[in-house]
Structure 1
Amino acid sequence: MRIPDRPSAFTNDSARDKYYAVYDRLLGELWPVPVDAVDVQTRAGSVRVHRAGPAAGDPVVLVAGAGGNALAWYRYIEPLARTRPVLAVDPLGEPGRSVQRRTLATGAEVGGWLTDVLAAFGAERAHVAGFSAGGWTAVWAAAQQRPGEGGRVAALTLLDPGGFAPITGRFVRWAAAGAVASMLPRPLRHRMADVVNNGLLRDDGLVRLGRAGGWSFRRHVLIPSPYTDEQIREVAVPVQVLLGARSALHDARAVAARLADVAPSWRVEIVPGTGHSLPVEAPELAAERILSFPAQERPGTAAPNHNSNRR
């Protein structure tokens, strides 16, 4: 695993300020409910968290993937915040209003900054939802908890997550095609969404944000490496995994088959008609799955196996 040699950062102050201007404008345009912005000091830097919803209750914590931040979850905020506190996080190492000050050299360190955020909010039973690399971060935060010892992560929802198969050239080509297509005029970009299998290209706001930081932010992050079977078994909280049927990140059916064997208590669902951009391609379904998981269970009962391909 290649260890980053420096923290991620904008290339200069001017680039950072231009990005923040777009970020703040889109936050005002896209965010559907009142929100409080909080900066949390963690072991590796300052993390921006946008809080919405009721003051009390176990929070839903949203962690975006590579190149993303809290704004990527704008479609989720209103349905989730009706009943639950919501903490949408700008991940360390990604473009946003978080400021990384130390490199993150291991998966445990990546999960550690998220644990620091949960501690700062006093979260004892958080439901953490992570997309792609954000799912990798969430798993590492949960993996450091031990059965019977309690912890701040109570459940995980992983949306087409990294870490369950090696990253291949297919995914690199998919990401590069999306980056090129994002620079096209809007009508052509929308048409290209189907051609390159990337529904994000139809989201004008998020594309505008990506353009603002795409060339002015230098990412120095760990590349998610595949978990061993033992590492998967060490996750001691209920987990559900939503996989894009056409994902370029991995073979969804192969990942589902592996998890059925290694972690039969995990709920695994392959979502038809979606690719790696599952969170923007099926936001209503994903939000519903977050709110309904895990089912209420009596203490001491094991979670059932919910491996499925259903929508």
Structure 2
Amino acid sequence: MARIGEFRSPAARARFYTAYDRTFAQLWPIPGEALDVATSYGATRVHRCGRGDGDPMVLLHGAGGSCLAWYRHVAALGERHPLFVVDTVGEPGRSVQEEPLRDGRDGALWLAQVLDWAGVDRAHLVGFSYGGWLALQLARYAPHRLRTLALIDPAGFAAVGARFYLWLVASGCAALAPGPVRRAAAGWLANGTLLESDLLRLTMAAVAFRRRLPPPEVLRDHELRAVRTPTLMLLGERSALHDADRARARAESAMPAVRAEVVPGAGHALLMEHPEMVSARIIEFAATGDVSRDRSRSPWRPG
């Protein structure tokens, strides 16, 4: 039986689309256009925005999310780059999956087809969480399509363990709590998404979606050594996905062109917790591709 992500019913899909469109209209800060790209795996929604010149940048969100995860970033990133912000096929967004993605190779092929449609030969590719894992697959299978790679607390450097699933459950319970409790839980759980009321309402509407994407398998050392694209890696010190220091050490020991940073006090939801810092790091790295590991550099700290 094909593993296709889909809503449980047409009514559930209609409710989600209404919530998605309303949330997008409320939150998206810059003009652009929404386009549906035909791929072998289904129609993929891509939001094209930002400047017309400059090197193109492609943004991938995390599991269970949509392009709206980037709404706090697109204004800054779009000042320098034309942006292609993707709803990953098989996730609860505006993309419609038709064929299963069975593994990382399929993920890379799907993403390459999106770039083909966009007329992008080489892009700055940015991926958060599961999107970071997908970005690594393109770096493995089609490195000639990339200028730089930016990974924001990515999956794929350690097995996803019970700690992460407990964090997800606790975060889900906190999302249903009254505002003061939810805001306090955002600090306890190091999950800035709990402060995003509009996105949480969209997440509640996405509960009716059956997600059927491959799990993010841990990349082996020889697979990481094959990723030669200049890579920026930002990790949350309190991330529930992995031990940040171990993930950084593994990346630095295996990847030949990586600059890895652990953000003090941050959790897995770096995009929401520290958007200005994340955007600034992405912009800087896309401009320079500098992977030097100067330990005298002062680490960023929350203000």
Q: Which category of TM-score, normalised to the shorter sequence, fits these structures? A: over 0.9
Query: Residue 147 of structure 2 is aligned with which of 154, 158, 163?
Result: 154
Please give the alpha-carbon distance, in whole angstroms, between the structure 1 residues aligned to 2:61 and 2:213. 14
In structure 2, relative to structure 1, the CA distance for the partners of 1:179 and 1:309 (3 Å cut) is farther
- Given that 1:165 and 1:250 are in contact with CA atoms closer than 8 Å, whether structure 2 keeps it comes out as yes
Match of 1:234 in 2: 226
Return the TM-score normalized by structure 1.
0.92
Match of 2:110 in 1: 113
Match of 2:78 in 1: 81
- Is there any run of 5+ residues in structure 2 with no aligned partner, and where? none
Match of 2:165 in 1: 172
Please give the alpha-carbon distance, in whole angstroms, between the structure 2 residues aligned to 1:306 and 1:163. 25
Structure 1 outlier segments of 4+, above 6 Å: none
Match of 2:292 in 1: 304
Please give the alpha-carbon distance, in whole angstroms, between the structure 1 residues aligned to 2:182 and 2:288. 43
Query: Residue 272 of structure 1 is aligned with which of 260, 264, 272?
Result: 264
Match of 1:9 in 2: 6
| Paired residue type of 2:243 | D
Match of 1:281 in 2: 273
Question: Which moves more between the two structures, 124-133 or 50-59?
Answer: 50-59
Please give the alpha-carbon distance, in whole angstroms, between the structure 2 residues aligned to 1:260 and 1:178. 31
1:29 paired with 2:29, answer: no
Please give the alpha-carbon distance, in whole angstroms, between the structure 2 residues aligned to 1:73 and 1:293. 18
Please state how far the C-alpha of 1:265 moved relative to its aligned partner.
2.5
- Given that 2:152 and 2:270 are in contact with CA atoms closer than 8 Å, whether structure 1 keeps it comes out as yes
1:245 paired with 2:245, answer: no
Please give the alpha-carbon distance, in whole angstroms, between the structure 1 residues aligned to 2:2 and 2:38. 21
- Given that 2:191 and 2:269 are in contact with CA atoms closer than 8 Å, whether structure 1 keeps it comes out as yes
Alignment RMSD, CA only? Answer: 1.7
Please state how far the C-alpha of 1:274 moved relative to its aligned partner.
0.5
Identity of aligned residues (%): 42
Query: Residue 207 of structure 1 is aligned with which of 200, 208, 216?
Result: 200
Please give the alpha-carbon distance, in whole angstroms, between the structure 1 residues aligned to 2:199 and 2:291. 36
Match of 2:36 in 1: 39
Please give the alpha-carbon distance, in whole angstroms, between the structure 1 residues aligned to 2:241 and 2:266. 12
